[in-house]
Structure 1
Amino acid sequence: MLTERPARPTIAQLREVTQPPSVRTRAGAEHWVAHLYLRDLSPYLTRPLLRLGFSADAVTWLMILCAALSAVSTGWPTLAGAIGVVVLAQLQQLLDCCDGEVARWRQTSSPRGVYLDRVGHYTAECGIAVALGVRANGGPALDGVWISAGLALGLLVCLNKVENDLVHVARHYAGMTQMADVESVRVPQAGLLRTARRAARLVPFHRIFHSIEMSLLILLAAVVDLFVDGWATKVLLVAMLVSAVVTVVGHLAAVLGSSRLR
């Protein structure tokens, strides 16, 4: 590991400091697109951000902006809007890699940065879910069944994320140490729950509520909508609403049945 931080680091130096194994092997914090290609790309954006003097928090604010714009793009009921949300979701996830890399390089990691990072993810995932109702409705409105369905989906997506964050809150108030971000901690101890979790891993519908997955599904529905007059987006919204109910209930049971609170 480098003991000094050069003013103009190479890509190799950035990778050594900002992408240690503890980051690349996290079970819950690394999205599959980060493993697949974004961590390969992120140092090429992190380096100019460092040279331009960006702080880690400033990069996170850029991520939050992309998150908000992805929700706005979702609500634009056209193919261009669907393409926009895919691009913005990818950029949001890339900046999510970069803000941590800037923090690790500058040695400025802080609770404030973690908090802002959470704000960005909540903005993207809950915002896209709500905006999907606007998209299914054909545009913004003060009422309507599709608007209500989008609001309900946004609430359920938020609850699903809260169930994760409340684990850390509960452990803190109980005076416990920080939970290790490894897969073994997340496995339920009861046999029935373990079986249900294995089944969910075979058909991982619970993962569709990340901004990346939602954006890709929205684009797919938008393409189909060219031939079915908007009904694909409506079907997607209903399917996601049902999946969200199952996910929230299953997630709660999995948390209570695992060693996360023990």
Structure 2
Amino acid sequence: MPQSSPRPDRPTLAEYRAIAQPPEVRARRSAEHWVADLYLRDLSPYVSRPLVRLGLSANAVTYVMILTGWAAAGALLIPGIAGAVVGVVLGQLQMLLDCSDGEVARWRNTFSPVGTFLDKIAHYTTESLIPIALGVRAAGGLGDLDGHYGWTTLGALLAVVILLNKALNDFVHVSRTFSGLPRVADSAETAAPRPGLVARLRRIARFVPFHRLYHSVEMTLLVLVAAVVDVVAGSAWGGLAGTRTLLVVLLPLSVLAVVGHFVTILASSRLRA
């Protein structure tokens, strides 16, 4: 691991941002989630800078991020709107910590494969546990699973499809490495499919970006909306009309997202020298 370069003991916010939030990081195609652009990057230095002063490493912050994501999924097991609200808050907190661990790493100039590995663990596990929790909610909760295993099965299937969709990007890097090719550039030009039918369909899909629904932030927000619908709809569909409808809609859309992602990768230059 590289040695940390000298830094001011008590940097000003401007000094800290210049190193922890360089423009080239936020300019990467897949670097920022929309909530990070909207407000979390404005808040994250107020979290990561104190963590630096406390002596926490970037990996330590990532461990906390992992636990926060798991807690967000676990909160969804609490019935009703209360559990959904807690899930949303924890989902936002996980993204705030996701911003913060990278800032700590850049400030300390400490980067390693361990950090990347832990970040993958955080997102893969959280974004598979949330649909499983959604399936349990649709079944009526942990205390009412008997006779409702169809809903938990749908939640588990959704989790598998989401994992596959996330893994496709990693498959690209693995395939290039095994073929002796350099790491592919993280740019819109590289990811874009060659001119043709796939490129046209991809442009159309931008107007209905349902493939973005499967991040922990979006999923917890959708669960909250569904919980509100459950209350408004009353006893319809076992008092879970919103939650069950959400699960039924998300599963086929996730399959469509995987197929589109797969075809787009093959039609792009990402697997070519």
Shorter-chain TM range is over 0.9
> Match of 1:12?
14
Aligned pair partner of 1:249 in 250, 256, 259:
259
Aligned pair partner of 2:268 in 250, 258, 261:
258
Aligned pair partner of 1:65 in 51, 63, 67:
67
Question: Aligned partners of 1:152 and 1:75: how far apart in 2?
Answer: 18
Segments ≥4 residues shifted beyond 4 Å:
none
> Match of 1:188?
193
Aligned pair partner of 1:43 in 42, 45, 51:
45
Residue 74 (1) aligns with residue 76 (2)? yes
Residue 166 (1) aligns with residue 171 (2)? yes
Displacement after TM superposition at 1:190 (Å): 4.1
Give TM-score, length-normalised by structure 2: 0.93
Question: Aligned partners of 2:198 and 2:242: how far apart in 1?
Answer: 33
Tell which structure's C-alpha radius of gyration is larger.
Answer: 2
Displacement after TM superposition at 1:36 (Å): 1.3
Displacement after TM superposition at 1:4 (Å): 3.4
Is the 1:57–1:113 contact (alpha carbons within 8 Å) kept by the matching residues of 2? yes
> Match of 1:240?
250
Could you list the runs of 5+ residues in structure 1 that have no partner in the other structure?
none
Give TM-score, length-normalised by structure 1: 0.96
AA of the residue aligned to 1:93? M
Give the match's secondary structure for 1:109: coil
Displacement after TM superposition at 1:165 (Å): 1.1
Which digits, 9 at most, give the CA deviation of each residue in 1:97-130, with x for residues without a partner? 0000000111111110000000000111111011
Aligned pair partner of 2:152 in 147, 156, 170:
147
Question: Aligned partners of 1:133 and 1:232: how far apart in 2?
Answer: 12
Is the 1:171–1:177 contact (alpha carbons within 8 Å) kept by the matching residues of 2? yes
Percent of matched pairs sharing the same residue:
53
> Match of 1:121?
123
Question: Aligned partners of 2:79 and 2:189: how far apart in 1?
Answer: 42
Question: Aligned partners of 1:237 and 1:36: how far apart in 2?
Answer: 27
Count matched residues.
260
AA of the residue aligned to 1:124? T
Give the match's secondary structure for 2:269: coil
> Match of 1:206?
211
Which digits, 9 at most, give the CA deviation of each residue in 1:42-101, with x for residues without a partner? 001011101111100000000000110111112222111100110011000000000000
Displacement after TM superposition at 1:185 (Å): 0.9
Give the match's secondary structure for 1:189: coil
AA of the residue aligned to 1:128? I
Question: Aligned partners of 1:200 and 1:131: how far apart in 2?
Answer: 28
Question: Aligned partners of 2:33 and 2:270: how far apart in 1?
Answer: 20
Which digits, 9 at most, give the CA deviation of each residue in 1:10-66, with x for residues without a partner? 211111001112211111131111111111110010111011111000000000001
